[in-house]
Structure 1
Amino acid sequence: MSDARVLAEQQIWAAVNEGAGNQAFNCTNGDVFTWKSLWKVLLRSLMLSLWAMKRMMRSLIRVAMMKGKGKVWDEIVEKYGLLGEKMEDIACFEALNVVLHLGFQHVCSMNKSRELGFLGHADTLKSSIPMWVGRMRDMKIIS
């Protein structure tokens, strides 16, 4: 996972750190993350039951089922007074489908950045997920 705050901090660091010039860096929160560990935190943050989450995930992981659901999203936006963003502007189901079906555990290292002095990090499960869900609620993207 890559929290936008860590990514921004790393980009600023790379721009002003002479040793980081003209190099590519991975950027993750710097913690160990698995999709399996995410679901309970996401459930709590979204105030969903396990049953609701399982039902939602069955729908989400099938990209074809999400095509043409823009009108359903528009109805949800209207019903709950959310920000009038189009579903395709805030979600990329094709990317989610790829991530959820990689077939192997993807691990990304921040060692190169750390060796050059970047120490930014975020705890995905304790801070990033709950904070961003809260921010999306505050911005009325979700209810």
Structure 2
Amino acid sequence: MVAVCVQREDGAVLLTQRAADKEFAFGWEFPGGSALAGESSRNAASRELREESGLDVLPSTLTLIDRFVETSAVLDFYVVRATSNAEVTLQQSEVMAAEWVPPAEVLRRLNAGAMADPWIARLDSLWPSTTLALSIVP
């Protein structure tokens, strides 16, 4: 599995909300998904970001934050920068909403129980390194 934290020039990061008919419906998360057979992690992250948000980034521009090992999956978590005028186009079958939020809002949503359940443990582990990589204050 892969996921991408996209940060705009103004510091905001992109969160997406899972569609109503998906597992963990209505939960907020970072865009991502599963790699296809034979696909590299970076290529999968670039593809999933494009499919879910319409944001097109080259795989080589993704910076790996860390790999998070779960009971049934392994998640590679990346960061990438976007321009302030980056336009999001949602894949309606997967994503019902998207918001550019200040990084502190990620933790607020996590603490409020608004993040999709798998992101609770992921963010506990990955968020400190992510904030450092983005050069932001948590």
Bigger helix share:
1
Of the two, which has the highest radius of gyration? 1
Question: Quick check: which one's strand share is greater?
Answer: 2
- Alignment TM-score, normalising by the size of structure 1: 0.23
Larger relative contact order (CA 8 Å, sep ≥ 6): 1
